[in-house]
Amino acid sequence: MNALTVMLAFQNARIMQYMNQIRVDADAENEPVSDEFYFIVTDKCTECKGFHDEPQCAAVCPVDCCVPDEDHVETEEELLAKKVWMHGE
């Protein structure tokens, strides 16, 4: 395990700890809880399949910190099915 992997694991653990303390109503419009942390919800992420050629989080990230989550690898078919389910298409 290299230093970058350790740093990312520590950062992700801190983000999860912070996010677990926040309670929001998912059905209501909410203000951002922070402009310092971004959290991608795995159950909602389609990696922009069906919308863009590449995931937009990675395309706009100024420091290349959007890294694949090896614990949640999905096929293109699974991602497109999730898109259809979420957007009613």
CB 22 within 8 A of CB 33: yes
Mean pLDDT across 65-85: 86
**CATH fold of 42-89, please?**
Alpha-Beta Plaits (3.30.70)
Per residue in 33-70, pLDDT (tens digit) is: 677 777 778 888 888 898 988 888 878 887 777 777 78
* Total length of the chain: 89
CA gap 41, 89 in Å, rounded? 20
pTM summary value: 0.54
Residue-level pLDDT at 44: 84
Residues 6+ apart with CB under 8 A from 47: 55, 74, 79
